[in-house]
Amino acid sequence: MSVAVLLVVLIVAVMRPRGLPEAVVAVPAAALVLAAGAIPVPEAWSEITRLAPVVGFLAAVLVLGRLCEEEGLFQYAGALMARVSDGRPRRLLLAVFAVAAVITVVLSLDATVVLLTPVVFATAARLGIRSKPHVYACAHLANSASLLLPVSNLTNLLAVAATGISFLHFTALMALPSVIAVATEYLVFRRFFAADLGAAPRPREPAPPVPTPTFALVVLGLTLAGFAAASLVGLSPGWVASAGALALACRALQRRRTTAFAIVRAANVPFLAFVLALAVVVRAVVDNGLAAALGHLMPTGSSLLALLLAATTAAVVANLINNLPAVLVLLPLAAAAGTPVVLAVLIGVNLGPNLTYVGSLATLLWRRIVHQHDTQPDLGEFTRLGLLTVPLSITLSVLGLWLGVLTLGA
């Protein structure tokens, strides 16, 4: 029953009939598994309280990203990409990779998908450049560039919570895998989209001047430094993100750029409820047999082969049931095997979703945004690109992790 309920929740989350929030089905589903006794109430409450700080951080980052948009940060990024590219498609691709990677690392993958993708569409159109390679880069970088910091992806925060690893140690171990993943993606993109990148640009529109969002950049810089400082004193990153969001909110309210209701709406409360309800349903599935079924697939030790097996398993599971449920299922098993295995699982659930639309919620959201711009991404093309990037980037990133573990320790 738990598996059936989980599948229904995931199907609704993927399809979103009539645009209904994911929580519309997920919350009743969580209530159903509780009522049926699939998971005791104390265990469900324990799962919710364990994830509450993570969900609180997610809410703060969503607000932070939206307020940065209102400060003009993403329009500034578009103008910067246009200026750096000088109308050349290949240089624009490099600029998009750089900007998307930075935004994903600092503001998380949702900001890259929701806020940067429309800017990339507009920038490519203004420059007379084919948008496909650059728009696809937003989808891939939202996943591939999210390895570096604990705050870059919800899955990272869950992994940090499961291992207790510090912010700085996590970043040090994931630095090389993150660079490798982004570089691999870029090289494959250059080859895969050679025809689009080699096409002559159409006549360009003059770029309007965009002021530098100094205040937003300063707040983001201080917030990023605060994440590192907070880890040293055991403070939750949610408090730091909330402080950054509060600073931008006060300025936006003072200048009447937004309202208190709009700020609350930016936190996307229905999605937060979906995450908590999904965790309860997944816990019911894990407790009723899935943990035993997957337990023999999770390796022990930190050998290169063991880490590759863990990452591959995680990537497969992520593409079957989405990466958020996958990480909730696999983390308890991986944590028992040690921090290196947890980080290998993280590589699998973060990079693996670039293979299919259903691999991550961010990719599903990207597809909706692309549709809103009257563009239909080709499923076959998306899958072929994923087949070229995902196995290679996972393998090389795991190799980078293994070298990091040997050098820095776990």
Say which amino acid occupies 318: A
Exposure on the CB side of residue 44, measured as CA atoms within 13 A: 22
pTM over 0.95: no
Say which amino acid occupies 168: L
**pLDDT string in tens for the chain (410-residue length):** 888 998 888 888 777 787 778 889 999 999 999 999 999 999 899 888 888 888 888 888 889 988 998 899 998 999 999 889 888 999 999 999 999 999 999 888 888 988 899 999 989 988 889 999 999 999 999 999 999 998 888 899 888 888 888 888 999 999 999 999 999 999 999 999 999 998 888 766 666 778 889 999 999 999 988 988 887 787 888 899 999 999 999 999 998 888 889 999 888 888 889 889 988 998 888 888 777 777 777 787 889 999 999 999 999 999 887 888 888 888 888 888 889 999 999 999 999 999 988 788 788 778 878 887 777 788 889 999 999 999 999 999 999 999 999 998 77
Kindly tell me the sign of the dihedral angle through the C-alpha atoms of 319, 325, 331, 333. Answer: negative
Contact 80, 119 (CB under 8 A): no
- Picking from 357, 382, 363, 381, the residue whose alpha carbon sits closest to that of residue 117 is 363
* C-alpha span between 74 and 116 (Å, rounded): 6
Contact 83, 67 (CB under 8 A): no
* C-alpha span between 92 and 201 (Å, rounded): 12
